[in-house]
Chain A
């Protein structure tokens, strides 16, 4: 039995990394989710449905058969990307609320390249679409980065504002220069078969983009914990003054975090365009950029945690449809449950504290 502070001292509750008491933090996250589900159960019961069968339907819808598993993982692809995007920004001590807009630019860039160069061999075409999506997302995120470093503009505000700029600018493109030849809807022409990613599981929509994302998660983990760049990023995020005093190029590191963050959000746009819609559309993202914030927080801003949290949120979203059709629980209730997860994740520090207290009792 080891002694633990009965109450936390003034130190901010921030991720301290692999050497911290990570196990307890993971436990706190899981408890936060369970508490949210418990509150959700009360709401479902008030609605007049048996919570057990409702959650059963939700689980069934998310993981019940091969197809539902595939749908859940398909949904986890963009959420993992945006979750990682936000996590990298957090690690560097900045907030990227702009993943939504960066995602839109990524999607538009991917579609533009795919439509412009349909005759490239797939081995060239696929990487160039992916690359241009990431570059577009990165460039769009550079804007708030420069505004912050040059003028001290708070990125919390600029990134969120630039989302609207991005969304409306993309709408302009989709009604204008990029509009489909038929000329009805705000969307591009359908992409050529050559641009699509091969299926991962037969007769489902899950494509090998999921494997790519797993690779990105592994790479992110490696970058954060095993490279000097990731180390310096974390130091800047924890205490920029210490970083400066230790001779780190704080400005360049912050810019690099914005770029990586934007590139990851752009990748989410690519995955949606190529893997789901097969074209760029208005409203490509039902808030993946914002859900990414919650995914990043729930995942403790660590890449592996983000992956787990993304799958959880994907399951909640995918399973909600089944819960609605099978049990008559409105899918808005599932949205409320997601909101509850947010609340409990924010209050997770209290759970952490309670766990510590039990540890010392």
Chain B
């Protein structure tokens, strides 16, 4: 294998690629290349145009201008099939899998060589098993995709692309949904792929990941390529500066909550079993005071999502009680809790947070029954639009206007709409789950400031996050969740990292 620097022809080269949506330019004359065996990281704020550029590479978008060359040969990509045939595989920010089908069926879907009418599934299964063996990717060809964890589905996307013969890999924020351990696993796979000569584009908002895995870094800002650097010759600080054009600092909690502040959210002995009878919450206690942020730290899948959904009323616990500002809300529906001032920033924003309508219509989901959005049941479209315009301005949502369908926003900007919607109600209790997932550094700092502002205002905040840095910076107290129980509580100024990780992995008793 030639070393990446010496490769004469880049595996993939874009030059002058321009994509416009109406009058908005999402990619402005971008030159970008990646050699075989190279990992080229792509950085940029939310809405900078990273996903758009990669959709061009994957044949999902036709640029208005510019050329694409594979191994030096100019190509035209009319569809994802063209791209796949040229060895381009994409692991999307939002996975493109069919949940009710098995892994093997997903991999074979629409692939002519498997046989159009009577696909040879046995061979597909054998091939997949061989691939997952070779790259140490744990994937069961017969598993139903919908049953897999997020990390599992991501492995399926990778195996699927490999099975289809991908030599150029595009990974759009693959680590956003992974726990730190899983990130390590992914990086092991990427290194192996690089050794085998695969060219890779890696998108992430996390600078440390970029510094660790990439050979080169390119930075996009508002649709323009502002810099390309060899990773070894740059630093996280420089990249951050290039990305947002200025220095910034992540905020953190500094003052303390008075111990006599009233308790706004109180949960006692919550127990929840899922549809299959598996206990997810096992006698969980939680209380949050006025003006307090309680961080819930833990490895993903230890009951965080269930806890959030029980608190917000999306699920009903089998036992336990729940009070908001002294009112018993056990068993009540989300409507009642929202009425009492609860706000939810859901983890799974695609499924729980947004609906396929315009930004404006999404901005008023929770407030549609009140003035100014509606009066006596009649909508005021002008008031809705005005509200959305304020939200867009306040939360710096990068879009073409309130009428833009929310599904066409970049992931981070969708999150800003959800946050703005929840926080603009001045909620008394906030349940925020992974509120900065998929957000760029600047937006993350913004969200942190917003949460601190809500705390100052007197809200009680439950912050569920797998990002330890985030939990540590913002929380007054950190509770560690493991197997559906709170196994430890650490006040802000007494957090020892080794103790924390021992608790998180269930290796220490409280």
A contact set with B: CB distance below 8 Å: 1-3, 5-7, 9-11, 14, 16-17, 19-20, 225-229, 231-232, 234-235, 238-239, 241-249, 360-361
Residues of B within 8 A of A232 (CB): 368
In chain B, what residue has the closest Cβ to A237?
A: B355
Does A228 lie within 8 Å of B368, measured CB to CB? yes
Q: Which residues of A contact B199 (CB under 8 A)?
A: none
Q: Judging by beta carbons under 8 Å apart, are B344 and A2 in contact?
A: no
* Residues of A close to B378: CB separation below 8 A: 226-228
Option from A226, A234, A245, A360 in Cβ contact (under 8 Å) with B344: A245
Residue of B nearest to A12 (CB): B356
Closest residue of chain B to A242, judged by CB? B355
B356 near A19 (CB under 8 angstroms)?
no
Min Cβ gap A24→B in Å is 13
| Cross-interface CB contact of A244 among B22, B334, B360, cutoff 8 Å | B334
Are B353 and A3 touching (Cβ within 8 A)? no
| Chain A to chain B contacts (Cβ below 8 Å), 29 pairs | A2-B21, A2-B22, A3-B20, A3-B61, A5-B55, A5-B61, A7-B60, A9-B96, A16-B356, A16-B405, A17-B357, A17-B358, A19-B361, A226-B379, A227-B377, A227-B379, A228-B369, A228-B379, A231-B379, A232-B368, A234-B357, A235-B355, A239-B351, A239-B356, A241-B314, A242-B351, A242-B352, A242-B365, A246-B366
The answer to whether the Cβ of B397 comes within 8 Å of any Cβ in the partner chain is no
Task: Known A227-B377, A231-B379, A241-B351; judge A3-B63 contact (CB<8 A).
Answer: yes
Task: Tell whether B273 is near chain A: CB-to-CB under 8 Å.
Answer: no
Determine which of A7, A20, A245, A246 lies in contact with B405 in the assembled complex, contact meaning CB atoms within 8 Å.
Answer: A20
Assembled-state Cα–Cα distance A247/B79 (Å)? 41
Interface set of B (CB-CB < 8 Å, partner A): 19-22, 26, 55, 59-64, 77-80, 96, 312, 314, 333-335, 337-339, 344, 346, 351-358, 360-361, 365-366, 368-369, 373-374, 377-379, 381, 403, 405, 407
Q: Which residue of the partner chain A has the closest CB to B56? A: A3
Whole-angstrom distance between the alpha carbons of A16 and B59 in the complex?
A: 25
Please list the 10 inter-chain residue pairs (A to B) with the smallest Cβ-Cβ separation, ordered nearest first: A247-B338, A247-B335, A246-B365, A19-B358, A228-B374, A242-B355, A239-B355, A238-B355, A246-B366, A2-B22
B361 neighbours in A (Cβ, 8 Å): 17, 19, 231
A19–B405 touching, CB < 8 Å:
yes
Contact of A6 among B62, B357, B374 (CB under 8 A): B62
A238 is contacted by which of B26, B339, B357, B377 (Cβ under 8 Å)? B357
Q: Taking A6-B61, A235-B365, A241-B314 as given, write out 15 further A-B residue pairs in contact, using a Cβ cutoff of 8 Å, ordered by the A residue number.
A: A10-B96, A16-B405, A19-B360, A227-B377, A227-B378, A228-B379, A231-B379, A235-B357, A241-B352, A242-B353, A243-B355, A247-B335, A247-B338, A248-B335, A361-B62
Q: Which residues of A contact B314 (CB under 8 A)?
A: 241, 244-245
Residues of A within 8 A of B62 (CB): 3, 6, 360-361
Cα distance A360–B418 when bound, in Å? 31
In the assembled complex, the Cα of A257 lies from the Cα of B344 at a distance in Å of 27
Which residues does chain A contribute within 8 Å of B381, judged by CB atoms? 226
Distance in Å: Cβ of A345 to nearest Cβ of chain B = 21
A9's contact among B60, B333, B354, B358, by CB below 8 Å, is which? B60
